[in-house]
Structure 1
């Protein structure tokens, strides 16, 4: 018999499991992934939730209250950070993506269906390594001291939905290999309206109503870049407080060169503030002609419409 209840839908997914299979082999990697998911899943009943199902390298759960779901997210992320390496030899570490939404769900035969389930599943596409994302309804029902730990990402366009959704990112303390890089030029623009991205000579304009924008090979990406070194969800550009922030979500890294600079900034699960014009190398330096490289140009308030990409005479352009 089907029942309809208001629930907080929770999806968690491991990133990097494919590389684990390549390094350890199918049997060993399967054992490692299964153990990790089983250990993470025990946090669901401990935090007052119900485990709906495991999904290979992920899980789905529902919780009666927002605080229960967020507590489970924090504990799972902490558990994974403390997880020992699965082998004596160097192996890629897996990262956890989490998404939580709120709404009525239909419970049938131990499974759950409904709009809140769809929203959580699609919100997961926008989460990066070790990131936990929640929707506006979840955020509004949290105690104020918990809400202070979240950062507003403005509105996100979810696959298959017409109206954009407000999304919040859980801010967590990061270790040395996930430390966020904040790089701002003295002339950085803090009243950005959007960004113009050019890939293979084709310009794409992303204004506030299309932010944040995902870069990568996946179907959920607003800026699709087909290249072997580009991850399914490679990077994300957020508009926060009038400034554009680029965040690397990839395996191979994102590399930034600003117009007029010879130095190339390497982002590996880090972030930087974009300003002016420049190039983004997805999976390698823009100095390497074989790397998928996008040109970017910020769109600022009261600026005239920018050209599709900087003038060919610009010294930093080499293609």
Structure 2
């Protein structure tokens, strides 16, 4: 089976663009960016397999080619505040028609999801095959346990700008930055949701909300859970506020503010009384572990 360096690059900010512009205009802006990304892939010696939605999948015979393409994409100053984040991984690929499949494709996709805007995360083999000069530009993220992989994957980061731009993973000195969340589970009464990157759940009294809580102290659109850039976040939009209780019993009051969530806990919507189960949304995050 042939091998390749697989690069998946994703546009950040497209959801907001569709909210701010008419659909036709937003689609036009995304199409312009994707066209430029395809040109970059071609100029760097890669083959663009497809560009669906707001990402591109490309393959390269050399690590330097994949790195050059990823770097060009994340360093470009895109219009309307857009940015690109990417994942690169070397491995076997299966060609099927006009598409490719395999572990390398799946792993590069997971790394792309974990990367911050303006960052590319790459596997060990891609990193090791880079020139000494380019390796010196990267930072080791350590070994990560990814879904579907039996062994930890060693990951390296290259990011635009200073060190604050790069993904920070675990470690004693990194605790304040929190772990990286691959997915999150929410439960309100008998209803359950599983969030992956880019997905959200609105909580409130309105029938338009995914999690409808019919209490007079709950606003129509009281708050929202969102998983983005590998971090679950709860944002309170109300005047009455919300209370977050973590698994170790810590309580935090929110009113028109946001808070990152990790591990397990409960958000009390519009109340501070944990006995009112019908006003509670429980959360649990699936966090990546350092080996």
> Fold-level match, TM-score > 0.5?
yes
- Are 1:29 and 2:17 an aligned pair? no
- Partner residue, 2:227: 232
RMSD: 4.0
- Alpha carbons 2:86, 2:120 under 8 Å: kept: yes
- Are 1:157 and 2:145 an aligned pair? yes
- Partner residue, 1:78: 75
**151-160 vs 66-75, which moves further:** 151-160
- Partner residue, 2:45: 48
- Partner residue, 2:254: 288
CA distance change for structure 1 residues 84 and 72 in 2, over 3 Å: closer, same or farther? same
> What's the CA shift for 1:67?
0.5
CA distance change for structure 1 residues 180 and 106 in 2, over 3 Å: closer, same or farther? closer
Q: C-alpha separation between the residues in 1 aligned to 2:109 and 2:24?
A: 28
> What's the CA shift for 1:229?
4.1
Offset from partner CA, 1:232-260 (integer Å, 9 cap, x none): 22555xxxxxxxxxxxx9898xxxxxxxx
Where structure 1 has 5 or more consecutive residues not aligned to the other structure, the ranges are 86-92, 182-189, 198-210, 237-248, 253-276, 281-285, 298-307, 310-318
- Are 1:101 and 2:67 an aligned pair? no
> What's the CA shift for 1:145?
1.1
CA distance change for structure 1 residues 21 and 292 in 2, over 3 Å: closer, same or farther? closer
- Alpha carbons 2:234, 2:261 under 8 Å: kept: no
> What's the CA shift for 1:162?
3.0
> What's the CA shift for 1:289?
4.3
CA distance change for structure 1 residues 251 and 179 in 2, over 3 Å: closer, same or farther? farther
Q: C-alpha separation between the residues in 1 aligned to 2:9 and 2:31?
A: 14
- Partner residue, 1:185: none
Offset from partner CA, 1:48-74 (integer Å, 9 cap, x none): 110101112111000010010000011
Aligned residues between the structures: 222
Offset from partner CA, 1:102-150 (integer Å, 9 cap, x none): 0111222232111111111122221121211101111111111111111
Q: C-alpha separation between the residues in 2 aligned to 1:145 and 1:12?
A: 23
Offset from partner CA, 1:294-319 (integer Å, 9 cap, x none): 6889xxxxxxxxxx99xxxxxxxxx9
> What's the CA shift for 1:27?
0.7
- Partner residue, 2:134: 146
Q: C-alpha separation between the residues in 2 aligned to 1:26 and 1:122?
A: 28
- Alpha carbons 2:118, 2:159 under 8 Å: kept: no
- Partner residue, 1:61: 58
> What's the CA shift for 1:7?
0.5
